[in-house]
A and B are shown apart, each in its own frame.
Chain A
């Protein structure tokens, strides 16, 4: 009798599995066809919903799907760095037209895959294409486009915001080493943005920008204690808005500012979502707009206008979230105007690409 139950249970399970059979539509199978435009995304080690680079890039791919640019979109999450090449090959072998790889870590694997799959266009998010600036043409790529961002614009936006929000007219930024060009652009953009806001409102804002250039590369982005200390000393001098730009060092500064009840400003992604300990006081973040950048490049890949090398996307600023009520309507409008000005080129940050 018991045996009979067991056989019945097995049969039920089997029927469930079999009934599930017809459901899946193997859309990816059509990618080898010329007329089907397919986009695959390979994440860096981590999840697709990381609220950071992976997720933003995937949203860009999804946008290209809803916009009707891409017919099939698919992602693979990388569980181990040694799978980079294999995961890219899944898409390459299936005849995908565009492969998006997310993060600096995939840079080498992406460059190698570019040679293996010459007909595929690769979009490397945050992958600087150094070959474009070298004399040597041997390692030039014909089909890899690195998506980078105008960090000075992002810094400019939050600098202007901080200057307008500050009551003490003293604001600070705690950054990693200025030897790294993006960090320099964030910091100097911040200064320029504050100066621009001063010009608009006839105020005088004192801006403290400190780069953690006194230590080696090993320490400059991973020193939250120093970041917190530096932020505190700025706040002791009266600063009431702190921009943290530089990995964990910046996060230390942001968190210290938030704990002191001052305005905290994040970097790269919307750190309201990724740095919960500072979220209640997170005014905004200087953002790299990965989602539209990826979508734009995919569209360019489809119409053939994409070029290999470095592509500069757009910068932006994150929503005010919990502090939305504290930001006046005038400031919100001013921010929108500044953003529009940066986008159409009528406002220039005047920041040189690297530290002179």
Chain B
């Protein structure tokens, strides 16, 4: 009897916690959608038709669902990357660049390794290798910033932005140069197609959703486990909340900062690797633009919780994916989607507005997402 009561109250507590955590984001989304509708109305569109298009485009058919999952996959990885850094008290704005680094190296391993070796590799070796190299290079790229932060105090916000420029321009240089697809009719900056053995299979025939999506969900669970059930996760969170206290408690703060950044970069690199091996089978300059920045929004909206990030990634994916259907039905510019996304973020970030509109009292302590500029 006693234990049953306890378990009921525990379930209740968990449900309460979930609803507390999701209330503000939910209301923010609702408010943004209503405001977006008003804006659509004023630019001469039909808000209901627009939202119908958005929903149809995102969920209206198996193909639409598959495409939403395709969009969600890199968002989950990149969102986790930013969130993990948040937890460690670091603001990783460099997911965009780390993603590009991961994509470039996965593509390189994907198309060039069989040439270098002179023989074809089996999928069971080639594919994991391509993903692993991309992931590790993303981690290395971000790890440099972590090292700079730990040993020189260089602020990670500045450095990740700078590293983005280096990564993206180097990518452009490589894709226009030594890594460019040499087929005679090609004029655009892209790598050759990766070998069949480096490609991730689709889950269902005829749909583009691939095993990378499942991997993304597994990794989200892994990150939750890492953060909450392991010593390393505890150290990351402790350093994130208060590095001085962490130092005093005997945690190697410098090592933790570097590790956090490297892990974050590995997740972002993974986003790029999976896009190459699972979806595009090459890297091209037009692919994956802005995912690293969307990821910051996703991490904020998901309150840096892996489950929240999966949900937020789905929301963003649905909006991005449904956008073409929306434009098809209404001829409204796809930029409206970015605007609604921005409104959602605005309301999540400035939750006082939402609390004021809906008369919700602040409960408990505020979640500290990241420490300010003072570091």
Chain A contacts to B: CB under 8 angstroms: 3, 6, 13, 16-18, 20-21, 23-24, 26, 28, 40, 44-45, 74-77, 79-83, 86-87, 89-91, 94, 104-105, 107, 128, 130, 216-219, 222
Contact B41 A17 (CB under 8 A): yes
Contact A76 B328 (CB under 8 A): yes
Contact B70 A82 (CB under 8 A): yes
Contact A28 B329 (CB under 8 A): yes
Contact B287 A81 (CB under 8 A): yes
- Interchain CA distance A8-B70 in the complex, whole Å: 41
What are 9 sample pairs from A and B whose C-beta atoms fall under 8 A apart? A3-B359, A20-B48, A21-B48, A45-B286, A74-B331, A79-B289, A80-B289, A81-B286, A91-B328
Contact B280 A82 (CB under 8 A): yes
- Give chain A nearest CB distance to B94 CB in angstroms: 20
B47 lies within 8 A of chain A by Cβ? yes
Contact A20 B46 (CB under 8 A): yes
- Give chain B nearest CB distance to A187 CB in angstroms: 17
- Give chain A nearest CB distance to B141 CB in angstroms: 22
B180 lies within 8 A of chain A by Cβ? yes
Q: Which of B67, B185, B328, B334 contacts A79 (CB 8 A)?
A: B334
Chain A residues near B320 (CB-CB < 8 A): 79-80
- Interchain CA distance A94-B357 in the complex, whole Å: 42
Q: Which of A40, A81, A107 contacts B284 (CB 8 A)?
A: A81
- Give chain B nearest CB distance to A39 CB in angstroms: 13
Q: Which of B176, B286, B324 contacts A76 (CB 8 A)?
A: B324
- Interchain CA distance A82-B75 in the complex, whole Å: 14
Contact A90 B325 (CB under 8 A): yes
Whether A77 contacts B327 in the complex (CB less than 8 A), given A20-B46, A24-B46, A104-B188, comes out as yes
B362 lies within 8 A of chain A by Cβ? no
Contact B328 A74 (CB under 8 A): yes
Chain A residues near B10 (CB-CB < 8 A): none
- Interchain CA distance A21-B63 in the complex, whole Å: 27
B177 lies within 8 A of chain A by Cβ? yes
Contact A23 B46 (CB under 8 A): yes
Residue of B nearest to A40 (CB): B328
Contact A222 B47 (CB under 8 A): no
- Give chain A nearest CB distance to B184 CB in angstroms: 8
- Give chain B nearest CB distance to A164 CB in angstroms: 32
Contact A17 B286 (CB under 8 A): no
Contact B333 A77 (CB under 8 A): yes
Chain B residues near A16 (CB-CB < 8 A): 38, 41
Q: Which of B37, B188, B275, B331 contacts A105 (CB 8 A)?
A: B188
- Interchain CA distance A247-B329 in the complex, whole Å: 35
Whether A86 contacts B176 in the complex (CB less than 8 A), given A45-B286, A81-B286, comes out as no
Contact B67 A86 (CB under 8 A): yes
Chain B residues near A20 (CB-CB < 8 A): 41, 45-48
Chain B residues near A89 (CB-CB < 8 A): 63
- Interchain CA distance A104-B49 in the complex, whole Å: 33
Chain A residues near B284 (CB-CB < 8 A): 81, 105
Residue of A nearest to B184 (CB): A130
Chain B residues near A107 (CB-CB < 8 A): 185
**Those of B3-57 within 8 Å (CB) of chain A:** 34, 37-38, 41, 45-49
B170 lies within 8 A of chain A by Cβ? no
Residue of B nearest to A14 (CB): B34
Chain B residues near A18 (CB-CB < 8 A): 48
Chain B residues near A24 (CB-CB < 8 A): 45-46, 49, 329-330
The 7 closest A-B pairs by CB, nearest first: A81-B286, A218-B177, A24-B46, A45-B286, A90-B328, A24-B49, A81-B287
Residue of A nearest to B286 (CB): A81
- Give chain A nearest CB distance to B271 CB in angstroms: 13
- Interchain CA distance A217-B187 in the complex, whole Å: 9
Contact A128 B185 (CB under 8 A): yes
Q: Which of A6, A79, A90 contacts B357 (CB 8 A)?
A: A6
Chain A residues near B41 (CB-CB < 8 A): 16-17, 20
- Interchain CA distance A183-B34 in the complex, whole Å: 52
- Give chain B nearest CB distance to A56 CB in angstroms: 18
B370 lies within 8 A of chain A by Cβ? no
- Interchain CA distance A218-B190 in the complex, whole Å: 11
Chain A residues near B185 (CB-CB < 8 A): 107, 128, 130
B125 lies within 8 A of chain A by Cβ? no
- Give chain A nearest CB distance to B295 CB in angstroms: 15
Residue of B nearest to A126 (CB): B187
- Interchain CA distance A128-B34 in the complex, whole Å: 46
B1 lies within 8 A of chain A by Cβ? no
- Interchain CA distance A16-B38 in the complex, whole Å: 8
Q: Which of A17, A23, A76, A94 contacts B327 (CB 8 A)?
A: A76
Chain B residues near A80 (CB-CB < 8 A): 286-289, 320
B121 lies within 8 A of chain A by Cβ? no
- Give chain B nearest CB distance to A84 CB in angstroms: 9
- Give chain B nearest CB distance to A31 CB in angstroms: 11
Residue of A nearest to B179 (CB): A218
Contact B286 A77 (CB under 8 A): no
Contact B324 A90 (CB under 8 A): yes
Contact A79 B323 (CB under 8 A): yes
- Interchain CA distance A23-B188 in the complex, whole Å: 42
Contact B324 A13 (CB under 8 A): no
Chain A residues near B37 (CB-CB < 8 A): 13, 17
Residue of B nearest to A48 (CB): B333
- Give chain B nearest CB distance to A253 CB in angstroms: 19
- Interchain CA distance A83-B284 in the complex, whole Å: 13
